[in-house]
Amino acid sequence: MSKPFFSVIVPLHNAEKYMRKALDSVRDQDFTDYELIIVCDACADDSEKIAHEYSDLVLNVNYGRAGLSRNAALDIATGEWILFLDDDDYYLPGAFRKIADAVTRAPDIDMLAYGFEWKGVGAVKQNLEQVFIAVWNKAWKRSFIGDDRFPDWIHSDDLGFAKKMHPRAKFGFLDEPLYYYNFMRPGSVSDKIKAGEYDNSQFPEEILADVKGYEDWLKKLF
């Protein structure tokens, strides 16, 4: 069997209240050559039950780490390109087809960074001068990721992964917003970071300044 064009990876943690919007945004795309891999991480609600309504590729893990959940999905992903979707965000209509068209036109790129709608901020574009450190605002070539994986951190694992991968990537860009970032949802990781709920002693020295800077920025912004 041929490989799907996309592997869409969705880590979940007790997401029953908002995950349907995220998963509906995948199911409603007009480009359907994808596999959807949903990882239920330490879910104590109906997240796993709902996940099975949307995909046959549902993993049940007990990490308490979004990065490790993404790693579990990467280990079984077969798509040519990887898309990361957080459980409280969603894709805008037509996103998959636009991404597929763009990477097909530029077969030598490793990553496609696209615009996104940032809740409370507005539309954001990415370019060579400003590539946002996140994994959900890009399409990642599977062969470029290879055996690289997310670090085992309580949060900011996407920051660590992106900082490792970005310097050696050849980028393509799409200005149009294709993703909605549901920033600072109550109870979200960013909300907890702002509240200082995490012990940052786990972070290596080279990333600690970035993590502290993000905390300070959140506190000033909100």
In Å, what is the CA distance from 89 to each residue of 16, 20, 71, 179, 206? Answer: 13, 10, 19, 8, 29
The whole model's pTM is what?
0.88
Q: What is the pLDDT of residues 150-177, one digit of tens each?
A: 998 877 788 889 889 999 999 999 999 9
Separation between Cα atoms, residue 8 and residue 125, nearest integer Å: 22
Instruction: Check residue 216 and give its pLDDT.
Output: 65
Which sequence spans correspond to the domains of the chain?
A: 6-184
Separation between Cα atoms, residue 201 and residue 204, nearest integer Å: 8
> Going by CATH, does the domain composed of 6-184 fall within 1.10.260.40?
no
Separation between Cα atoms, residue 200 and residue 196, nearest integer Å: 9
Instruction: Check residue 2 and give its pLDDT.
Output: 84
Average confidence (pLDDT) per 10 residues, the chain, 222 residues:
93 92 98 98 95 97 92 98 96 98 97 92 90 93 97 82 93 97 63 59 67 63 56
Specify whether the CB–CB gap between 181 and 202 falls below 8 A.
no
